[in-house]
Structure 1
Amino acid sequence: MAQSPRASLVFAKSCSDCGQRQVELPRPLPEIGDDFDWMLRDYDSFRLFMLEELAARFPERSRWTPADIEVVLVEALAVVLDQLSDQLDRSHSEAYLDSARRPDSLRRLLTLIGYDAVREHYPLSWSDSKLVKHLLATKGYDPTGLPFEPDLGRSEVLVRLLVWLGKPANALGVAPNLNQRVTERAFLQLLGYDADNLREALDLDLPPHRRFATQALDQRWYHYPHLMEEARAAGPARLHRNRRMVTLDDYRERSEDHPLVLRASASSRWGGSWSTIDLVMVLSGNGELDQSIAAVIPADELEQVQQAVDDFHWREQLPSVDWQLQPGFRSVINAYVDKYRMAGQEVWLLDATPVGLYLNLSVKVDGNYFQSEVRQAINQALGSDAGGFFEPGRLAFGQDIHASDLIETLMALEGVNAVCLNRFKRVGDRYPDQSGAGVISLDGTEIARCDNRIGQPARGYWRLSLHGGQRG
């Protein structure tokens, strides 16, 4: 063990009062050479290095065989060093998102950048027997006594489960299907859940559900590693996506992300004390903000729209929508805007200004086509259904309507030989005919409408005269 050097006081010969403290330090230790190759990583390199070391230390020995105890020890040590080296490499790779291979490592690294892999990638399905057993256990049932696998994607299995739970076999109907929202809600209520769908029942904000979903996702990724690549790519991409409404473009772009919003336009106005954001929207089905969603969306499309809204609110971690209350567009969209708008920023949701158009068309039909078929094709081409010229969201705010676009749309139909636009104007006597000019100018938040519905002439209509063709 090194000792502290002792200091000595030395006086000069010319002056007996002038002294100087002197310390004699020990000589520095000689450098120890490092002949170890730090690039050694595998079994072969470790074994070769130790055998070379043996040969260098015992030069008088010229022959080494695999049966020598020294060679056996060298090979045993090489195996252990190779395992430790592999563990080091694995631990190092697990620390980075692009090289992590363990499901739990990838999930934790995604959590560090704010990406909830469990919410985004854990598939919820009534066909998942483990998930069904977890939901049963949460409500006090013992799923270990089930004599069958609860694959509730099949009606007959769902009926067997109802009987096992002590419920009538026809409690959900003769052939219940959990893909139907009403049946799914009724089944969850039978289990004791106050939820409308499977996602609400498996509330990931509750620790027991979160732990179950996390373990299930890790097992899924462990058995199917290729599924991890989707999350590995989606996580960093989410960092580049703006999730706040700050500028007017943010309000417009983020609003259009919502499934119920087809078009959006944002403007700012000064109210005397603070600025207010006016957010004008074109909604699904040409609905209005204060209308009920169920009253606007057709019955055959309503369930699809509800599912799209539920999926969006799930991803954005928004409150689920209670569809039994028949909510309006404003209440659903306002919950989304309130989450991402700036604190203290006043935002008004407004409907677009509809501009009804009146069209008077004369169409010459080819002699080989029936007039009824051509009339139906024209109604579809100009209608507000999917693919129609006046489909909701197709036209932008303030977009002018050109007669040439309408004629081009009709001329593309089979059986149409010629189109004459006799009247082309806004609805109302005070607006002049623009068939000569060929364009109806719109401005601001105006949106052209031509719904052609009986009793609603203000939303636009057309009159169609067919000539030629075959009757019938």
Structure 2
Amino acid sequence: MGEVRPAMVLFEGGDRNLAWQPRRDLLASDRFAREFVLEVAEDGRSQLRFGDDVLGQAPTPGVPFEALYRVGNGAAGNVGAEAIAHLVQPLGLPAGGILRVRNPLPAAGGLEPEGLEAVRQYAPQAFRRQERAVTEADYAEVAQRHPEVQKAAATFRWTGSWYTVFVSVDRKGGRPVDAAFERELLGHLERFRMAGYDLEIDGPRFVPVDLALEVCVAAGHFRSGVKAALLEAFSTRELPTGPAFFHPDRFSFGDPLYLSQVYRQALAVPGVASVEVRRFRRFGKTPARELEEGVLATGRLEVIRLDNDPSRPEFGRLELTMKGGL
């Protein structure tokens, strides 16, 4: 519950362009930040705390605020499926256009307010969380606190006059580490980094896989159907049963690709009687006994990739030879 934020925003003078956002504290807020802290007393009453033009901007005296917020009713709000059947219509609004009200799925996530005893028990643990980055492992750990980072690795390099910390980031969903994301992540890391160290954000070093399978199709199955199922199973897509084999979130820094994983995935496809891996190596590289040793190893900053895009073979290739079947 330590990351809970109030669902609230303030508009200075009712102006929607002058929005103030809630924060846990104002220790990282600069003097221009329109931010505030919502403090709840033991009796349930709340008050707002603003900055002092040093840590957070101070509001203009006499200017009113318009508050837009959402409240809940704790665990009682976790109603079951099909429990909601009525809508309370505000006075003065037309009631037309609504044919039915229902909730096909049960509600979840409602929690009771944290009591003082829970605060006494868990508050000391909050101070054990590292809030500064000193070592390479520290920089990787705080980078992974960003909600879009699947995994990170940091490397210190002497650049001639000072040290630069290169943070390599594997972004969730295979999204690119573009200029906009680099700026966002640099802002996230700024409060943790050591003075005198520069920061640079890098993407992964991808290892394109060159994979060739010879498949024997079981009797009574069409080769074209089994091939389509194999292409889907070894794709990069999110399938109804979960992420496909080469989905970007299945592999990250340093994760090897084992030959046994390929066999298991291929044999799990309906209609596959047997399979033989004919090529298993880095794309465009001389084989380094990957097929004989049963593993395609990666370095600490490398990530396995096989997109099987004919227009981008440098991001991996899958070749299927189908035999038997119909």
Question: For the superposition of Structure 1 and Structure 2, which TM-score range results when normalised by the shorter chain?
Answer: 0.5 to 0.7
Match of 2:166 in 1: 278
Deviation at 1:389, TM superposition (A): 2.5
What is the alpha-carbon distance in structure 1 between the residues aligned to residue 250 and residue 216 of structure 2?
27
The answer to whether the 8 Å contact 2:177/2:202 transfers is yes
Alpha-carbon distance change, 334 to 453 in structure 1, aligned in 2, over 3 angstroms = same
Q: 1:409 to 1:211 in 2, by over 3 A?
A: closer
Return the index of the structure with the highest Cα Rg: 1
% same residue: 25
Change in Cα spacing, 1:275 to 1:452, as seen in structure 2 (3 Å) is same
> Does the alignment pair 1:391 with 2:243?
no
TM alignment of 1:217-296, pairs within 5 A: 218-219=44-45, 226-229=112-115, 232=119, 235-290=123-178
Residue in 2 that maps onto 1:469 = 325
Residue 375, structure 1, aligned to residue 227, structure 2: yes
| Contact 1:265–1:280 under 8 Å retained in 2 | yes
Unpaired runs of at least 5, structure 1: 1-114, 125-130, 141-191, 292-327
The 2-side partners of 1:211 and 1:446 are apart by: 42
Q: 1:180-195 to 2 correspondence within 5 Å?
A: 192-194=15-17
Q: Tell me the TM-score normalised to structure 1 length.
A: 0.46
Taking the aligned partners of 1:372 and 1:266, their CA distance within structure 2 comes to: 45
The alpha carbon displacement at 1:209 in A equals 8.3
| Rounded Cα–Cα distance in structure 2 between residues aligned with 1:429 and 1:246 | 37
Q: Which amino acid aligns with 2:307?
A: D
Letter of the 1:399 counterpart: D
How far does the alpha carbon of each residue in 1:237-263 deviate from its partner, in whole angstroms, 9 at most, with x for none?
Answer: 322221221111111111112122112
Residue in 1 aligned with 2:258?
402
Q: How much does 1:409 deviate?
A: 1.9
Choose between structure 1 and 2: higher helix proportion. Answer: 1
Question: Counterparts of 1:254 and 1:209 in 2: how far apart (Å)?
Answer: 23
> Which residue identity lines up with residue 320 of structure 2 in the other structure?
L
Please report how far the alpha carbon of residue 462 of structure 1 lies from its aligned counterpart in structure 2 after TM superposition: 0.5
The partner residue of 1:361 within 201, 209, 213 is 213
- In the alignment, the residues of structure 1 paired with residue 194 and residue 37 of structure 2 have an alpha-carbon distance, to the nearest angstrom, of 33
Question: Kindly tell me: are residues 253 and 229 of structure 1, through their superposed partners in 2, closer, same or farther at Cα, counting changes over 3 Å?
Answer: same
Query: In the comparison of the two structures, how many residue pairs are matched?
Result: 252
Deviations 1:403-453 (A, max 9, x none): 222112222233322111111122116556743443333324222210112
2:192 to 340, 347, 357: 340
Q: How does 1:118-267 map to 2 (within 5 A)?
A: 120-124=4-8, 139-140=13-14, 192-194=15-17, 201-203=20-22, 210=36, 214=40, 218-219=44-45, 226-229=112-115, 232=119, 235-267=123-155
> CA shift at 1:335, angstroms?
0.8
Asked if structure 1 preserves the Cα contact closer than 8 Å seen for 2:162 and 2:196, the reply is no
- Please provide the CA RMSD for this pair: 3.7
Hey, what's the Cα distance between the residues in 2 that align with 1:212 and 1:335? 24
* TM-score using structure 2 length: 0.64
Distance in 2 between the 1:207 and 1:426 partners?
49
Give SS of 2:185's match.
helix
SS in 1 for 2:147: coil
The question of 1:416 aligning with 2:268 is answered no
1:227 is displaced (CA, Å) by: 1.7
| C-alpha contact 1:396 1:447 (8 A) present in aligned 2 | yes
Helix, strand or coil for the counterpart of 1:267?
A: strand
2:302 paired residue number: 446
Cα deviation 1:83-114 (Å, max 9, x = unaligned): xxxxxxxxxxxxxxxxxxxxxxxxxxxxxxxx
Counterpart Cα distance in 2 of 1:122 and 1:266: 33
Q: Residue 246 of structure 1 aligns to a residue in which SS?
A: coil
CA distance in 1, matches of 2:261, 2:126: 39
On the 8 A contact 2:214/2:276 being kept in 1, the answer is yes
| Structure 2 segments unaligned to the other structure (5+ residues) | 27-31, 47-70, 75-110
